[in-house]
Amino acid sequence: MTIRTAVAADKPGWVDLWQGYLTFYGSAIGPEVTETTWSRITDPIVPVFTRLAIVGDKPVGFATCILHPRTWAIEPACYLEDLFVDETMRGRGIGRRLIDDLIAMGQRDGWTNLYWHTNSGNETARRLYDRYDKADDFVRYRLPLKG
């Protein structure tokens, strides 16, 4: 397995995985959101990027991140927004390798930290995440602002 940054030619493979991710979350976002997200991922000006796990020549998992400036540091922080591994490929360490890859990128590029959220009941994901650190005690407030 290799891990690399997604490029334009990866679109069909990424869309298949993305649909699996949306199904996992029971989300019905419109195709225009998928299109916009993909164009952001592949636009070098936008600080959104995807690392793909590739087996053979097929993408089997992804980590999508937003690198953003901070007020409390000069260096950026990295928000891991989406992590997904194809259902048939789980439990083989691919999720772990995707996170390890981001840690290595961040150490190389000087990010202050890598962070993410998950549902408290997502036990499979939390089993993986708990190997890195304990969850902190912040709670999330999230106000819907759109009609």
Ligand X SMILES: CC(C)(COP(=O)(O)OP(=O)(O)OC[C@H]1O[C@@H](n2cnc3c(N)ncnc32)[C@H](O)[C@@H]1OP(=O)(O)O)[C@@H](O)C(=O)NCCC(=O)NCCS
Pairing of strands 2-5, 48-55: antiparallel
Interaction of residue 55 with ligand X, rule CB under 6 A? no
Nearer to ligand X, 11 or 92 (CB): 92
Interaction of residue 94 with ligand X, rule CB under 6 A? yes
Could you tell me which stretch among 3-11, 70-78, 124-132, 134-142 binds ligand X (CB under 6 A)? 124-132
61-90 residues near ligand X, rule: CB under 6 A: 83-85, 90
Instruction: Dump strand ranges (E) for the chain.
Output: 2-5, 48-55, 58-68, 77-85, 114-115
Half-sphere exposure of 1 (CA within 13 A, CB side): 19
Are the C-beta atoms of residues 48 and 76 closer than 8 Å to each other? no
Interaction of residue 122 with ligand X, rule CB under 6 A? yes
Nearer to ligand X, 72 or 114 (CB): 114
24-53 residues near ligand X, rule: CB under 6 A: 24
Q: Alpha-carbon distance 30 to 61, whole Å?
A: 22
In the bound state, the residue with its beta carbon closest to ligand X is: 95
